[in-house]
Amino acid sequence: MPGRRLTSADRQRIAAGLAQGRDFAEIAGDLGRPTSTVSREVARNGGPGRYRAELAQLATVRRGRRRPQASASEAGRVPAGPDSGARIALITDLTAALIDTGMPRTAAGVLACLFTAENGSATTAELTGHLRVSPATISLAVGLLEQHGLIRRSRDGGSRRHRYFLDEDAGVRSAVVNVRANQRLAATVLRGADILGSGTAAGARLAMAGRFLEQLGDTIIRFAEQHRSSASGD
């Protein structure tokens, strides 16, 4: 039944499906569950490359033990805005997608939370509550995101707390961050082609791959700059 909780056996089947290279939709179909249930489960427990059924089961048991019971008045409240379950599923799916680009898990979670927040901001306390990690872990994640210019921080009103804001160009910047990594790869591949020599099969192979990666990176950066210029001119 779609409404029931995932069992230990379900998690074993998810782990087996991931090991076979199957996507979330296929695994969810076998379990008779929504795809968002599987993607949320995997993202919450390490992502596709680090998901372990036994650890996921233990983590779920621990979360259940420390989760406070809602009072009768709280249970009757309806959250404002989009359905809370749909929002959580969206954050989970976005986090998983960012992880797949090579972004560390917590940094991906922070960025997903900020992208989906109505005001594009959150405090450390809000992020630790959403992501269930320590403030120190959040601090490391936001430091990485600040380093790449994806977020900025300021004081939360007149308090001493920091509030983190999504940069207006975060979407463009996140693409550029990945392109920079791609360009480093292209430079390394082309250097390998020079070392091995264009007259060798390996050297020719590296040269072809390096030129493609280099051109791809240049195209994306050029498009990002055009997009930024047109957006600022609107």
Does position 213 have pLDDT exceeding 50, yes or no?
A: yes
> Rounded distance, CA 109 to CA 207, Å?
37
pLDDT of residue 219: 83
Q: How confident is the model at residue 27 (pLDDT cuts 50, 70, 90)?
A: very high
pLDDT of residue 171: 60
| 151-176 mean pLDDT | 72
Distance of CA 195 to the CA centre of its chain: 37
* CA-to-CA dists, residue 193 to 5, 47, 185, angstroms: 53, 35, 12
pLDDT of residue 79: 39
Does position 71 have pLDDT exceeding 50, yes or no?
A: no
**Please, what sign has the CA dihedral across residues 124, 125, 127, 133?**
positive
Q: What predicted TM-score, i.e. pTM, was given to this entire model?
A: 0.49
> Rounded distance, CA 149 to CA 174, Å?
9
Mean pLDDT of the chain: 78
Share of the chain above pLDDT 70, in %: 76
Do residues 194 and 206 touch, judged by C-beta distance below 8 A?
no
pLDDT in tens, 97-140: 888 777 899 998 998 898 888 888 899 888 998 888 899 999 99
Share of the chain above pLDDT 90, in %: 12
Least confident piece of the model among 2-6, 38-42, 91-95, 202-206? 2-6
Beta strand ranges found along 55-204 (DSSP E): 121-123, 151-155, 162-166
203 contacts: CB under 8 Å, gap ≥ 6: 192, 193, 194, 195, 196, 197
Q: Given the structure tokens 């379990």, which residue do they identify? A: 31
Does position 173 have pLDDT exceeding 50, yes or no?
A: yes
| 2-20 mean pLDDT | 84
